Amino acid sequence: MESFLLLVLVVACLAVYDGLWGSGALFIALRAAARSVRRRHPRIADKLGLGEDICDTQRLNDPASVLIGRIAVVEQAIVAGRGRLAIDGTTWSAQGPDLPAGTRVMITATQGTVLVVEPVA
């Protein structure tokens, strides 16, 4: 592992010295380092946020799925199972039990661009 870190250091020096080509080499080396850590030390990788592959196909095909498990606030009351909620400065269509505006909810699933929610106790 120490030799790998030395390689990353050398590539980083190339990136500073050689501009664009060095930057590409640095990217490749860091990507390889992340995969190596994820494979050999999964608990450490999870703590560093390296537990998931950046190019996960499901996240690319369903970007709303990364919101599952997050807490949001109902922006427009959910009436007859439909409403709108705000999360990270973006408004999404929501489906769930009837709730007044301002209620905190957890996102439990997605159906296309509609977020399925339930109230947080």
CATH number reported for the structural domain that contains residue 106 in this entry? 2.40.50.140
pLDDT score, position 28: 75
C-alpha–C-alpha distance, residues 106 and 120, integer Å: 6
pLDDT score, position 8: 67
Please tell me whether residues 104 and 70 are part of one structural domain: yes
Please tell me whether residues 33 and 73 are part of one structural domain: no
Residue with the two structure tokens 């999964």: 42
Q: Is the pTM of the predicted complex or chain greater than 0.75?
A: no
Q: Which residues span the domain enclosing 42?
A: 2-48
- Into how many domains does the chain fold? 2
Is the pLDDT score of 92 beyond 80?
yes
Residue 57 domain-assigned (yes or no): no
**Mean pLDDT of all residues in 43-60:** 59
| Phi, psi angle pair for 96, to nearest 5° | 170, -170
C-alpha–C-alpha distance, residues 90 and 113, integer Å: 12
Give the residue, 11 or 80, on which the prediction is more confident. 80
Please tell me whether residues 40 and 74 are part of one structural domain: no
pLDDT score, position 112: 84
Please tell me whether residues 84 and 111 are part of one structural domain: yes
Residue 12 domain-assigned (yes or no): yes
For all residues of the chain together, what is the average pLDDT? 78
Residue 55 domain-assigned (yes or no): no
